[in-house]
Structure 1
Amino acid sequence: MTDTSVSQPANGPGGYKRLLPVGRATRKSVLLADRFADVSITVGGLMVILAVFAILLFLAKEAAPLFMGGELRKQEAYDLPPMADLIWTNADEYQTMGVRIGASGRIETFHIETGRRLAGTELDFGGDTATAVGATINRSDMVFGFSDGSVRFAHIGLESQVLRREDMPIGLERLTEHDFTDGTAVFRLIPGDQVRRIALRAEVKPPEQIAPEGTPIKAMAFALGGTVERPTRSFVTFDAQGIGRLTRSETRINLMTRAERVETMSVELPALPTGTHIAKVLLSSQADQVYVGTAEGEVFRFDTRDFAAPRLAETARLTSPGVGLGVLGFLIGDQSIVVGGQDGSLKIFFRLQVEGAETTDGYRMVLARELEPQPAAIVAYDVSQRRKTLMTLDAAGNLWFRHATSEQVLLRLIQQHESDSGGEMVMLMPRDDGAVVTNRAGKVDYWRYAVPHPETTVKAIFGKLWYEGYPEPSYTWQSSSGTDLFEPKFSLVPLIFGTLKATVYSLLFALPIALLAAIYTSEFVHRRVRATVKPVMEMMESLPTVVLGFIAALILAPLVESWIAAVVLGFVALPFGLMLAAYIWQVLPPQLALKLNGLPKFAFMFAVVGISAWVAYRLGPWFEQTFFYGDFKAWVNRDVGTGTPFMGLLLWPLSFVAVSMLFNRTVGTAFRLHLRGLNRQQAGVFDGLRWIALVVASLLLSFGAAMLLTRIGFDPRGGVVDTYVQRNALVVGMVMGFAIIPNIYTLAEDALNSVPSQLRAASLAAGATPWQTAIWVVLPTALSGVFAACMIGMGRAVGETMIVVMAAGNTPVLDWNIFNGLRTLSANIAVELPEAVIGGTLYRMLFLAALTLFIMTFVINTIAEVIRQRFRKRAFQL
C-alpha cells in the first residue's frame, strides 16, 4: 500500500493543492531495460559507423594497388660464349629458354634463369651472311636480307607442350627447383601434376631475289597482316644503292580444300635524297605506311595505301636540332611512333589527320608525348606484345621500363655488366614480366619483375590523356574492345559526369512535382484526400527499379522517340493547362466551388492533366512542323532550320518572370487594390486576363530575344540540345524522377505537416492567403526537413543502377545533351564487374569507382547536413 500526503501551498490560501505519491520507486526491470536500450542504441550506432569505415577501408585497400609501382623480384647476370655476329634474340613467354641468332645462321639456346647452354642448330643460308633482319612484334616470324640482294623468310620460335608428369623423360638434368633439361628442351613442373616442355623450332624458306644480283640489303622491315582466309606478308627493303622496294604477298586459302594461291607484288619507293644514311625502317602491319629514319634524326614517311603508286608523304625531323637518332619503332598497334635520341630523349608521335597539314595525304606526324629523358643516349629498345609498354636502354647501362600512355617510368634497372653500345639488344618478355639484355661479348643481364597496373595513374584516371587515334587529349572510359591491339582507357571523369548528369535531370523532373504535391496535399486538400493520396505515394516507393528500367527501355524510350515533339510540347502544355484550369476555378460561384472541394476537385485536376496530355499529343505534328521545321531529329542535328523557335521556348519562363516583376513593380499594387473591390468571379476574370496578357507579352519578349540571339550567331543546338539517340538522359530523368518522387514527397509532406498550426492561424488572421501562408510561413519553417527530403532523393538518384543500366544507353560521354546517353558509376560497376578478372586492372578500377561513389555520397550528405542545420536554426528563430 502506497502512503500519500497532501502537499500544502507555500503561499497561503491563494495556492493549490495536489495529491502526490510518497515513496514511489521505479522498478528495477524498467531501469535495466532503459539502460539496455541506451547501451544497445549507442553500440549499434558505433557499429554502423565502424561498418561504414570498414567498407571505406576495404574499397581503398582493393584500389590502392592501382597507384603502386613495379616490384623487382629477381636479377641475374652471367656470361655466354661470345657471338660476334649477333643480330637477333628471342625467348618464350614463360621465361624458360632464350635464343641467340647470328648473321651466319647459327642459333644458340640457353636456360634464362641459370645461363645453362642448350643445344642449338644452324639455318641454311647457303653459305651467305645476313646483312639485315626484320621481324614481327612476336619476334618469331622473321626475314633476313643478304649481300647478294636476296631475302629468306624464317620462323624461329619456342614452342610449348603440356605433358603428364608420368610422360616426363627419365634422367633429366636439374636446372632449378622446377626446371629440368635433356640438353635440347626444358621441362618445367607446373600445377595439376603436369609438365610443360619448351623446345626450339626453326625453319627457313628458300631465297627470293629482291635487289639486283650482288646488291646487298642494308635495311628492312617485316609485317604480317590480312585475315585468316587472306593473310598477307609484307616487307620493305633498302639496298646498298639506297633504293627502297615494297613487296607484298597475299595468300588466298580455299576454306573447303585448304588449297593456297599466292600473289606477290613489288614496287619501288620514291628515291630518297642522295647521301641519306638509313638507320631504321618501319612498316605498318597493313603495309600502308613506311617510315625511314636517318642517323641525323630525320624521318621520311611514305604513303603506300595505293600499292601501285607509293608517295613520299612527309619529311620531318623528330629529334631536337643537332641530336642524332638512337632508336625508331612502333608500339603495338603501329599507331604510336617511338623516337629515342642520342641525348637520352624519348618522344611519342602520332600520325593524325590535321587541318593545314602540308603533306600529300593530309596526315602529319604530331608530337603527342615527351617522356622522361634518360641519363645517356638511347641505344636499344623493345616494345610489349600486349600493351603500350616498352623497355629503353641507354649507353650508360640504364634500362627503364615505361608505359607510353601514362608517361610513367615503372622500373629503373641497371646492368651489372659494363655497357657495350655497339652490340646491346633488349628483349622484353612476352608477358611484360621480365627482360633480358645481351651483347656480342656474351654478357647477359636478366630481370624478373611484376608491374600489374602500368596504365593507371592519378592523371590517367582523373585527367586528360592523348590516346591513339584521338585528335586531342580527352577523358575516356573504354575498358575492352574486339581487337588485341586495343588500349584500355580508364578515366573515371565521364562516369562521374554521367552520375551528376543523371542526377540533375532526374531532380529537374522530380523536385517540382514532389515539392508542389507535398505543399498541395499538406496545405490545401481535404484530409480525406490526403489520407488517400499519401499512402498511394508511399506505395509507389516499393516499385522495383528493374521493372521501371525495363519499362523505360522497351516501352517508354521508343514511344518518346516516336512522339518526341508531343513530349516536348507536354512540358509546356501540362503546367499551362493546370494554370488555366486554376483561373477557371476562380470564376466558379463560391457555393459551387465549396461544394466541389475535396475529391471532385482532385479528380478535376487529373482530368486536366489527361486533357493537357491529349492536347499535346494531338498538336504534336503541328508543333514539330512549326518549331522544328517538320523533323525534330534533323533539327537537333542542324540539318534544317535555325534555333530561334526552340530558343524562344527556352527563354519563355525567364521572360515570364521578367514581365511579371515589371508588372508588379509598376501597376501591381494598384491592380491588387482594384481586385479587392470586386467579387470572387469578377476578380477571377480580371486576374485571368492579367495572366493571359503576361503570357502573350512574355512570348513576344522571349521570341524577340531569340531572334536577336540568332542574328548574332547563337544557336542552342550543340549543347543541352543535340543529336538524338533513343536511350537518353530525357528518358532516364523521367523514369528516375518517377522513382524518387515518393521519397521526396513523403518526407517533405511530413516536414510541412510538423509545422505548428498556430503559425498558420496567425498568418491567416493577419490577412495572408493560404498560398502566401504556405510559401512564406510554413515552407520556411519546414525548410530543414524539406531540404533533407531533397537530399535523400538526390542520394537515391546518385546511387540508382538498374534504371540507368537499361535506359541510358551506357555511353560514357561528356556532354549535357539531354537527348544523348550516359553512364554512371553505379551502372558501370554493374555492367563490367562480371567481365573483370579478379585482381586485374579493370577489377580494381571498379573498386575505385565504388570508392569514388562512396566519397561523392559522403561529401554531398555532409554538405547537405551542414546546410540543413543552418535552415533548422533559422526555423527556430521564427
Structure 2
Amino acid sequence: MASTTETAVGEKRSTARVHYRDKKTSTRVKVTENIAKWVISVGGVLVIGAVVGIMVFLIQVVIPLFGSNDPLGQVHYQLDAGDDIIWVNADEFQSLATTVDRTGNLTTFHVPTGEIIARDAFDFDGRAVTAVAGILDRNQVAFGFEDGSLQFGQVDFSSTSTAQANAPADLVQLTGRDYTANGLIYAPVQTGDFRTIRPVYELGEPVEISQFPIVAVDYRVGGTVERPTLAYVTVDSAGVVRVSRTTAQRNLMTNEETLTTTTTELPNLDLAEDVSVTRVLMSSGGDRVFVGTDDGYIFRYDLRNLENPVLAERRPVFDEEVAVTSMTFLSGEIALAVGGSDGSVDVFFRLQRPGIDTADGYEMVRSRVHASQGTPIVEMSEARRDKSLVTMGANGSVWVRHSTSDQVLFEFERRTDPSLPATVMIFPRSDGVLLVDREGGVDAWQYNARHGGITLDTLFGQIWYEGYSQPNWVWQSTAATDLFEPKYSLVPLIFGTLKAAFYAMLFATPIALMGAIYTSEFVHTGVRATVKPVMELMESLPTVVLGFIAALVLAPIVEEWISAVLLGFIAVPLGLMIGAFSWQMLPIQTAIRFDGLPKFALMIFAIIATAFVAYQLGPVFEDLLFYGNFMAWANNDIGTGTPFMFLLQLPLAYMIVAWSFKRFYGHYLRDRLRAMDRPEAGRLDALRWLGFLGGAIVLSYAVASFLTLIGFDPRGGIVDTYAQRNALIVGFVMAFAVIPNIYTLAEDALNAVPSHLRSGSLASGATPWQTAMWIVLPTAASGVFSAVMIGMGRAVGETMIVVMAAGNTPIMEWNIFSGLRTLSANIAIELPEAVRDGTNYRVLFLAALTLFIMTFVINTVAELIRQRFRKRAFQL
C-alpha cells in the first residue's frame, strides 16, 4: 500500500511499502526434487550396471575359447588279444574297440574297462601281414602280405536303438553307463531305450599285386553306392610302386557285380640299397601319391592321367640325416603331416605356383613347423573332425596337436612299455586317444578340446590355410562338406566394419555439418523451423526399409547408370556453385526480397537440374573418360588409371590453385571487389572461380598423367571389379541414416553459441561466413565433434543396411565397388544357426565383444577430445 507525505517546501512525496517474499521452499518442491534426483541417480547407475553386465556376459561366453583344453582321465590295462597287434579301431562313443593282430585274430573290448566283448578272426590263409593301412575313418582296412597279395577288410561298428522291453534279461553292467550281453554293448539314452553297439567284421578276396612282399600300402574308397571305386597303392620289397583302381558296377536287374581293375606301375624310385620306404599315402581322389623314405625324402606322384603317371617332385623334408619316420594326411586329405627321426613334425600341402620347374607345375610347400617332440616320431594319426593329430614318440610321449592353431593341446605319457611298437588313434569325436601296443597293452585318454583350433593368432593373425597361396586373414565359418576347416579370423570383419563406417561418414559428415551450419547461421528462422523437423523425421525411417530399398532398387540402378552416378558426384556440387555465383550477381534488393524459401527452392532446383544433366550425359562421360565401358575399365581390361586419378585429385588440385592465388594475389582481388557493386563483384568472383576450376583441371590431369607414366594405377586398390552390392551403395544409404543424427546434434550445438559472440564478430566487420567458420564453429566444436562421433558409432553398429546391401563378403580391400561384411551383420546372419556353446557360437560373441570394445574406445577418445574443446571454449 502506498502513502503520501509532505516535505518542508510543500512538495508531496509518495512512499511505498516493501513486501518481502517468503523464501521458504515448499515441501512439495523439495519432495519432487529429491525424487527426481533419486530417479536420475538410480537410472544412471542402472545404465552403467547394464553396460557392465553386458560386458561381463560377453566375457563369460568368450573365456572358454581360450581355456577349454581339459584332460578328463586315463585308463590302462592289459588285453588278452593275441600276438603282434597291427590295427585298432574304436566307435564314436568310446565304448567298443577292435584290434587285429598279424595272424588275423580280432578282439573286441570295452574301452573304459578292458572287458573282452567278442572274438573273431580273419582268414589270412596262413600268410603273414607285412603292411597295413586304412582310410580316414579307419573302418576300411587294407592288409599287405608277404606273398605280394592284398586283402581288404572292414573293421567297423553299428549302432541301433533297442527298446527297453526288448533288451536281454541277462545284461551285465560294465560301468555306470554301459551294459553287455551276447557280444553287444547296451547304453541307456535319455528316452529310456538302449543304444546298442555291435562290432562288424568283413574280409574280401585276395588280390595278387606282386611277387615280392608288400612293404607299404594305402587305399581309398570313393564313387557312389551304385558304382563304388577302390584305389590303392602298394610298394613291394623290390621298390616297385603300383597303383590300382577297381570299379564295381552292379546290375540292378540281376544284382550281379562286375569288377574292373586297372593297375599301373609308377616311375621307379631309384632308391639306394640302404634306403627303404617308411610310408606311402594316397589322396582321397586317387590323383596323388606320396612316398616317404628313411633318408628324409618324399616322392610325389601325379596320377591325374593314370595311363601316364608322373614323378612330379622329389624333395628333402628335413635336414640331412633326418629320416621320414611317419606320415599322415590331415582331415580333408589336402595337407600332409610328416614326422621325423629328430622329433620334427611339419605340415606340407601341394600348391601351384608360376615358374615352378616340377613336372605338373605344383610344389610341396611347408606351411607349418610344429614344436619338436624331442624324440623320433614313430607313429601318428589324424582326427576325423578337425585338423588335430596325435604323434607318438619313441620315448613313450603322446602329444595331441592342432595343426591350424600350431599348439600342443595335451602331452600324455604311455603307461605301457615305450619300447613296444604301438598303434595310436584319435577317437571319432576328437575327444580322446586310444593306444594299443603290439602285446595288448592299452592306454586310453579322454579330454575336452572343443575349441582347440582357437588362439589369438588364428583370430587376429595371418594363417596359411590349405590351398591358399600365402598366409592371410580369412573368415569362413561354414561350408557344404564335413571335411571343411572353419576359419575364424575377425580381422576381415573388423576391416569391413571400418570400411562401411568410413564410406558412410565420407558421405554423411560434410553434408550433415554443412547443412547444420547453413540452417543455423544463414537461413531464415521459418525455413529452419521446416527443415529441422524433416531431418529429424528421416531418423525415424527403419533401417531395414532403407536396406531393402538399397538392395532391390538402388543397387541395380547404380549398376546400370554407374557413369551417370559418378558424373553426378561432380555435376551436383558444380551446379550448386553456379547457382551460388548467380545469386551473388543479383542486385541486393532482389537478393533480400527472395531470401528464405525462394533461395532454398533455387538450391533444390539446381540439384535436380544438374542430376538430370548427369543422367543425360552419363554415356558421353563414360566414352570420354572410361573408354566406353566403365565395368571393363574397373576390371583393368581396358585403358589406364589416368581418368579416375584425374577425378579423384580434382578437389585437392582446386584447393592448391585457390590457396596459391590467395597467397600471392588475394589482397589485390580483395581490394578490387570492395570497390565494386554487388552484381559486378559477383561476376568477377565467378570469373575467378572459373579460373580456379580451369587451373585445377590442368593440374589434376598433369599429375594423373605423371602417375600413370611412372606405373601407378588405382585399379586393384580403391577401384577394382564392380559388384552390384558394394561399399558405394552401403556408404550412400547408411549416410542417409546417419545424417539426421549428426545434423540435429551439430545444429543444436551451433545454436547454443551465445549470440553476443556473433554480434561482436559482425560488429567488427566480419562477414556471416567468417563469423560462422571462425567464431561459431570453434566455440561449438565440442558439440559438433560429439555429433560426428555419435554418427560414427551409429555407422559402426549398423546392421540391417549392411546385411541387405553389402553383399556380406568378408574380404579385405578398400575397393569402393566391392562388398564387405561387418561385425554386426555377421552376428545377425550366423548367430541364429550357431550351435550353442560351440566354437562358432563363442567366436560370434567374441565378435560382439570386439564391437563393444571398438565403440567403447571410440566414445572414450571422443569424450576426451570433446572435453579439451570444451575447456578451450569455456573461456569465451
1:321-720 aligned within 5 A:
321-420=320-419, 422-720=420-718
1:665–1:199 CA distance, 2 compared to 1 (3 A): same
Residues 475-507 of structure 1 show CA distances to partners (whole Å, capped at 9, x for unaligned) of 000000011111000000000010000000000
114-123 vs 810-819, greater mean Cα deviation: 114-123
Q: Kindly tell me the number of residue pairs found equivalent between the two proteins.
A: 861
SS of 2:45's equivalent in the other structure is helix
How far is the alpha carbon of 1:576 from its aligned partner?
Answer: 0.8
Q: 1:870 aligns with which of 844, 868, 871?
A: 868
How far is the alpha carbon of 1:597 from its aligned partner?
Answer: 1.0
Contact 2:416 2:437 in 1 (8 A): no
681-690 vs 188-197, greater mean Cα deviation: 188-197
1:804-823 aligned within 5 A:
804-823=802-821
> Partners in 1 of 2:474 and 2:174 — Cα distance?
47
- Residue 737 (structure 2) pairs with residue 739 (structure 1): yes
How far is the alpha carbon of 1:772 from its aligned partner?
Answer: 1.0
Residues 441-476 of structure 1 show CA distances to partners (whole Å, capped at 9, x for unaligned) of 211111111111011101110111110010111000
Contact 1:69 1:410 in 2 (8 A): no
Contact 2:219 2:232 in 1 (8 A): yes
> Partners in 2 of 1:132 and 1:576 — Cα distance?
81
How far is the alpha carbon of 1:253 from its aligned partner?
Answer: 5.9
Q: Equivalent residue for 2:4?
A: none
1:482–1:672 CA distance, 2 compared to 1 (3 A): same
Letter in 1 for 2:246: S
1:261–1:641 CA distance, 2 compared to 1 (3 A): farther
Letter in 2 for 1:423: P
How far is the alpha carbon of 1:23 from its aligned partner?
Answer: 5.2
> Partners in 1 of 2:601 and 2:75 — Cα distance?
86
Letter in 2 for 1:315: R
Residues 572-621 of structure 1 show CA distances to partners (whole Å, capped at 9, x for unaligned) of 11111101110011111222222211111111111110001101111100
How far is the alpha carbon of 1:765 from its aligned partner?
Answer: 1.3
Letter in 2 for 1:559: I
Residues 89-146 of structure 1 show CA distances to partners (whole Å, capped at 9, x for unaligned) of 0000000011110122111111100011122111122332222222101101112222
Letter in 1 for 2:859: N
Contact 1:319 1:339 in 2 (8 A): no
SS of 2:260's equivalent in the other structure is strand
> Partners in 2 of 1:627 and 1:308 — Cα distance?
54
324-333 vs 613-622, greater mean Cα deviation: 324-333
Letter in 2 for 1:454: G
> Partners in 2 of 1:622 and 1:187 — Cα distance?
79
1:339–1:673 CA distance, 2 compared to 1 (3 A): same
> Partners in 2 of 1:795 and 1:254 — Cα distance?
67
Contact 1:298 1:315 in 2 (8 A): yes
Q: Equivalent residue for 2:40?
A: 41
Letter in 2 for 1:538: E
How far is the alpha carbon of 1:18 from its aligned partner?
Answer: 9.1
How far is the alpha carbon of 1:658 from its aligned partner?
Answer: 0.6
- Residue 228 (structure 2) pairs with residue 231 (structure 1): yes
Contact 1:375 1:396 in 2 (8 A): no
How far is the alpha carbon of 1:877 from its aligned partner?
Answer: 2.6
SS of 1:744's equivalent in the other structure is helix
Letter in 2 for 1:294: T
SS of 1:21's equivalent in the other structure is coil
Contact 1:82 1:440 in 2 (8 A): no
Residues 50-83 of structure 1 show CA distances to partners (whole Å, capped at 9, x for unaligned) of 1111110000000110011411112111111263
Q: Equivalent residue for 1:282?
A: 281
SS of 1:452's equivalent in the other structure is coil
Residues 772-804 of structure 1 show CA distances to partners (whole Å, capped at 9, x for unaligned) of 111111111111111111011101001000000
Q: Equivalent residue for 1:781?
A: 779
SS of 1:486's equivalent in the other structure is coil
1:825-840 aligned within 5 A:
825-840=823-838
Q: 1:221 aligns with which of 209, 218, 221?
A: 218
Residues 819-858 of structure 1 show CA distances to partners (whole Å, capped at 9, x for unaligned) of 0000000000000011100010000001000000000000
1:815–1:673 CA distance, 2 compared to 1 (3 A): same
Letter in 1 for 2:245: R
> Partners in 2 of 1:694 and 1:228 — Cα distance?
76
Residues 238-266 of structure 1 show CA distances to partners (whole Å, capped at 9, x for unaligned) of 12221111001234567899775543211
How far is the alpha carbon of 1:411 from its aligned partner?
Answer: 1.1
How far is the alpha carbon of 1:21 from its aligned partner?
Answer: 2.7
Q: Equivalent residue for 1:843?
A: 841
How far is the alpha carbon of 1:228 from its aligned partner?
Answer: 5.1
SS of 2:438's equivalent in the other structure is coil
SS of 2:295's equivalent in the other structure is coil
- Residue 238 (structure 2) pairs with residue 241 (structure 1): yes
439-448 vs 228-237, greater mean Cα deviation: 228-237
Contact 1:652 1:702 in 2 (8 A): yes
Residues 684-741 of structure 1 show CA distances to partners (whole Å, capped at 9, x for unaligned) of 0000000001100110011011111111111111111111100000000000000110
Q: Equivalent residue for 1:109?
A: 108
Q: Equivalent residue for 1:68?
A: 67
Residues 324-374 of structure 1 show CA distances to partners (whole Å, capped at 9, x for unaligned) of 222111101111111111111111112111233231111111111111111
1:383–1:18 CA distance, 2 compared to 1 (3 A): farther
Letter in 2 for 1:621: P
> Partners in 2 of 1:561 and 1:260 — Cα distance?
57
> Partners in 2 of 1:241 and 1:326 — Cα distance?
20
1:364–1:255 CA distance, 2 compared to 1 (3 A): farther
SS of 2:175's equivalent in the other structure is coil
SS of 2:846's equivalent in the other structure is helix
Contact 1:460 1:490 in 2 (8 A): yes
Q: Equivalent residue for 1:84?
A: 83
1:256–1:781 CA distance, 2 compared to 1 (3 A): farther
> Partners in 1 of 2:550 and 2:852 — Cα distance?
27
1:694–1:431 CA distance, 2 compared to 1 (3 A): same
1:59–1:694 CA distance, 2 compared to 1 (3 A): same
> Partners in 2 of 1:709 and 1:283 — Cα distance?
52
> Partners in 1 of 2:320 and 2:742 — Cα distance?
66
Contact 1:133 1:142 in 2 (8 A): yes
Letter in 2 for 1:698: A
> Partners in 1 of 2:586 and 2:473 — Cα distance?
59
SS of 1:51's equivalent in the other structure is helix
SS of 1:279's equivalent in the other structure is strand
Runs of 5+ unmatched residues, structure 2: 1-14
Letter in 1 for 2:69: G
SS of 2:89's equivalent in the other structure is strand
Contact 2:721 2:818 in 1 (8 A): yes
Alignment RMSD (CA, Å): 1.6
Contact 1:386 1:485 in 2 (8 A): yes
Letter in 1 for 2:232: F
SS of 2:239's equivalent in the other structure is coil
> Partners in 2 of 1:18 and 1:701 — Cα distance?
82
SS of 1:798's equivalent in the other structure is helix
> Partners in 1 of 2:285 and 2:95 — Cα distance?
32
TM-score (norm 1): 0.96
Q: Percent identity, aligned pairs only?
A: 52
> Partners in 1 of 2:23 and 2:504 — Cα distance?
59
1:227–1:775 CA distance, 2 compared to 1 (3 A): farther
1:183–1:427 CA distance, 2 compared to 1 (3 A): farther
